[in-house]
Structure 1
Amino acid sequence: MTTRKNVLILGYSYAIQFIDVCNQYVKLFDQNHYKVTVAYLSGKPDENARSKTLAEEVIFLDFAKKDLRGIKISAIKKLLTLCQQEKFSMVICHRYKPIYIMLWVAQFCSIPALFFVMHAMKTFHHVSRKLLIALLARKNMYFVGVSNATRDDMRRDLWCISAERVITLYNCIDMELTESALLSREEARHTLGLPKDAFVFGTVGRLVPDKDQKTLIHAFAKIKSHCPKATLIIMGNGALEHDLKNLTHQLKLTHDVIFTGFVPEASCYFKAFDVFILPSIEEAFGRVLLEAMTAKIPVVGTRIDGIPEVIQDAGIIVEPQNPEALASVMMQMTHKSSLELTQWGEQIYEHVKKHFSLPTFNNIFWNIPINAL
């Protein structure tokens, strides 16, 4: 019987978006040949998170915030012990703090292959981070961006790291799993309290400056008088919720813009939308676009960072922070027939299947020259 190799996937927390990303990587490995462990740096043991994480073993390291600040000695020691015990053939880290910790662990423990996956822009802009990577990086380490925009951002910032070790691995989506969870258009609208005959623009994301829901609200205000049945639904919570609600009040849109707050498994409701809009001014990838496209919903996104790479020619791209341009596109959408929107949705679905499905991701990953495996 062949001895299985051990693989560790290290994430910061088990927020649902991080579980999804970890599962994307778990599915790369055949259980007959690999034992995959997922470890979360923060968060107490949680049975729901454990059940949603597809790895054979799930570890909740439960570090307090103070333990993950500064040089993180206690976290480094604990991960070093784990790596020495399990003798991992590969470690995949998501986001900066797990990467920082594993960079130090790798100085004292032999790990044949390491992948450091970045999900944000400008992570290595600070000189101290550039210097740390230059000092601790080894030839068995890949620095991964979730888009070419993220990759190129890292290539500009990282010192002493060859370009071939800074690569792109797009986020992907389990289309079958995502589709199986979708509510029908009627069920989704009923649950969200949306009129059956409304033309619904939807967006999902944290209510923070980077997501720029403010521009979307201003654009919606420009078309509302021409489209009486138009409704805008904003799913998510965050620091700007009060300000955004005040803006809708000032624009006399209180009854036309719906704020749902945080909605668990928000992608289940995407069929309630006629058009999905991502108005971000900073977005390394935009995984929510894949969820919308898997639901066969036409998408509009901004020409910023990784968004154009996701949408390509399957949707519409507008300039960021330009309510006039966005309003023009939104108006065009309301003039399309149900048949046109349905056909567009089918084309978008095929786009995701070709470029961002699990089989595509699997094929790309296993074509990386990984000596350890």
Structure 2
Amino acid sequence: MRMKTFRAATATAAFAMVKAELGADAVILSNKTVTDNGSKCCEIVAAVDAMPAGTPGAPGPVKHTGPSRTKEDTVEDALRSAIGWQREWSQIKGQILALMKPQMDPATLAPKQRLAMEYLEREEVDAKVLASVYCELRDDPKRSIITALESLVEVKPFRSRDWPGAIHAFAGPGGAGKTSSLIRLALREKRSNPKTRICLATADGGRGKGRLVLKHYAELSGLAFREIVTRDDFLLLRKEAEQFDMILIDLPGLTGNTTLEDFTGLYGLSTCGELSIHLVLNPYYSAAQFERFMEKYKSEQLASVIWTKLDETCTFGALVNMAFASGLPISALSYGAGLKNSIAPATLDMIWRMVFMRKLPGGDIQP
């Protein structure tokens, strides 16, 4: 078995490094946010089965001489020499995680910690997240569950001053609320700074109703509007980028086996370094759907998650689950039917109020 630690500024970049070096069969052993030289980054520990010794093309043990040999080198040699791994690491990992939850003894936690863990379970927080939180609380009876969760959940508020790139695209499944979120954020930014030059763009090829909605609100609010039907349309928009402080692009829902990387490559978005893509989701999708979305929408340009329709959900555990699984920060929270005053740049305080108090960013309390 070969195991290695990867660090990158974003989770998608770290996953790309894993795939490039270890291949598609690599198993993710851990995924967390760490601080490196004063900056937060994503750290992923991944492993892949090595070919048995003697197999043609199989790498032999790495030989080191002299004082440069490290503890990591010794571990690497031992893992490279190991044989007899009969099951896939992904299966082993799944079984270990399945066994961890029953082994979590509530009696080892302080009463307040135990109640908080039970509450998270009712909020449908994933067992892997609970196991991670339990391990942190078990060793410190005075530690707040909030501080344990904060090591798993990151926010990056959707405000122009917090995002260096001027071009933002909104991706996600059909009906998730991409178009309405885009409009809400544009209106919010315009209210906070009336002089902001904003362009709304649609990339649905003129097929969806979102195009008409975007055009309508652009005209009403004095915003520019563009359509992206071909690759050349996006290239032209990039040339116009200096005319705007912010460009918001509505991407279509992806059908069939089409992935976000396929789409961005086809339209030339993948070569745009100033582009940030935000994944728009609802909290009430199933766990299987979230796993499917992570695979379908993975991209090095994926920068955050925007949660919508929060006023329609019963539990908020999905916000924590997705942050843990993807390593992506939460950038905005959308709620309510109206387009005004119904979206907010995300903060950790807002998230914990929803999870533990069912209180939406706008102040309403979910029943």
TM-score of the two chains, using structure 1 as the length reference: 0.32
* Higher gyration radius (CA): 2
Q: Which has the higher contact order (CA 8 A, sep 6+)?
A: 2
